[in-house]
Amino acid sequence: MSHVHRRGAVTPTMNITPLIDVVFLLIIFFMIVSKISADELPELLVPEMDDPAAKAPGEMSRIVVSILPTLPDVGKRPEGDALQANRTDNNPLNIAGDARAVQVGIRLIPWDRMAEELAPEIEAQLKQNAKLEVMVRADAGVYFRDVQAVLRQVSAAQLPDTELTLNFVMLIEPRL
Amino acid sequence: MAEAHQTASLELSDPLEETVHHISARRRRGRDTTPPQLSLTSMIDVIFLLLVYFVVTANFTQDEGVLKANLPGADAPSDAPPPTDEPLRISIDPRGETGYILSLQNQNIQDFTQLTQLLVQYQRDDSKKRYGMYPKDHPVKIEIGDEVRWQHALAAFNAAAKVGYENVQMEPRR
């Protein structure tokens, strides 16, 4: 480097300000979107397996049927820890095993109306989309009887010329 | 650098300046121009923001996966297995508040790890060097008591699916 160059040099800087602007906007966008999509799924402790055979969900259009457990009221959308702490001895199964409600998409159906309203709800979705994946996402502590009742409603929603596939939701990675 | 050394060596001829020549050379260079520096502050800003973003999103993504199953009664008429095939029978009953009693072919077994081991032993799959009695498509019937927790019901289904049985049914225990 010559003397002339060194003397007259203006330190070259990149203007990063617009980059920061854009990054900031992206962050805000993704935070809002992820919050919305998390709101659609009620907090549950889905079953956890030692050796799960489950795979990441595919890209098909799907409908998530969550089966909510009866828990002491902890307010709206408790965090994962609170959900766990609500159970006796921190045992995820130690709750009253009767289901409290079913949530389809963003619609919450109380358990006593499940038998009338669940199948029509799925049928309505099936009319818009003939190929549909139903993901049954039940809390680990719910009785099998109640899950079975939901499964029966799901199969009742099957219409001719439609393809309804069933999937059970479980954890792939162990819970921390 | 070479030039700097040269100046220094030229000045070295002056005995008065000898003791401080290295300092003066550096100072002269510093006086000319400030050394070009990349401002790291904004980069750190961006990296920090990215870090915060990933920490926040990591909280939201639950690692939930799906296990495919067939709808009960959905395609039963078309490809129901011949009823002569006696299914491999797993049954689960509730024990206490949250426990379970597990049995395979009416023999009590301890837990789902043992169930998986037995299911592997019973299976016939030449490609995996398993020489049991039951081929992959042999029906497996899981009979589940009403008050068995979903965790245990799904664990049995998961074990059968993991071992490779393709025709697994869950039904209420009578």
Write down the pLDDT at residue A96.
84
Q: Find chain A residues with C-beta within 8 A of B98's C-beta.
A: 91, 93-94, 141
User: What pLDDT, on the 0 to 100 scale, is given for residue B1?
Assistant: 43
pLDDT at B10: 47
Looking at chain B, which residue has its C-alpha nearest residue A21? Answer: B46
So what's the ipTM on this one?
Answer: 0.75
- Residue written as tokens 């959900």? A83
Of B34, B146, B150, the CB nearest to A138: B150
Residues A56-79: what's their mean pLDDT? 73
Gap between the terminal Cα atoms of chain A: 56
Report the pLDDT averaged over residues B33-43. Answer: 78
What is the arithmetic mean of pLDDT over B128-145?
88
CB proximity A61 to B under 8 Å: no
Give the mean model confidence (pLDDT) for residues B62-85.
66
Residue among A128, A134, A69 at smallest CA distance from A99: A69
B66 touches chain A (CB under 8 A): yes
Share the mean pLDDT of chain A: 81
What pLDDT was estimated at residue B156? 93
Average of pLDDT values for B21-50? 71
The answer, yes or no, to whether residue A70 has pLDDT greater than 90, is no
pLDDT at residue B19 greater than cutoff 60: no
Residue B11: predicted pLDDT: 47
**Residue whose structure tokens are 């019973």:** B122
Q: Does B65 touch chain A (CB under 8 A)?
A: yes
pLDDT in the model for residue B86: 85
Q: Is A135 on the interface with B (CB under 8 A)?
A: yes
Instruction: Please name the residue of chain B whose CA is at the shortest distance from the CA of residue A169.
Output: B66
CA-wise closest residue to B170 among A61, A153, A147: A147
Residue A2 near chain B (CB below 8 Å): no
pLDDT above 90 (res B93): yes
Contact flag A155-B72 (C-beta cutoff 8 Å): yes
pLDDT at B79 exceeding the cut of 60: no
Q: Are strands A131-138 and A107-110 parallel, antiparallel or unpaired?
A: unpaired
The pLDDT value given to residue A27: 83
Residues A144, B144 contacting (CB under 8 angstroms): yes
Q: State pLDDT tens for residues A6-53.
A: 556 778 877 888 888 888 888 888 877 766 666 677 878 889 888 888
- Over residues B107-129, mean pLDDT: 90
Mutate to test the interface with B, among A15, A122, A144 (most CBs of B within 10 A): A144
Residue B2 has a pLDDT of 44
Partners of residue A152 in chain B, C-beta under 8 Å: 72
Q: Residue B57: its chain A contacts at CB < 8 A?
A: 30-31, 34
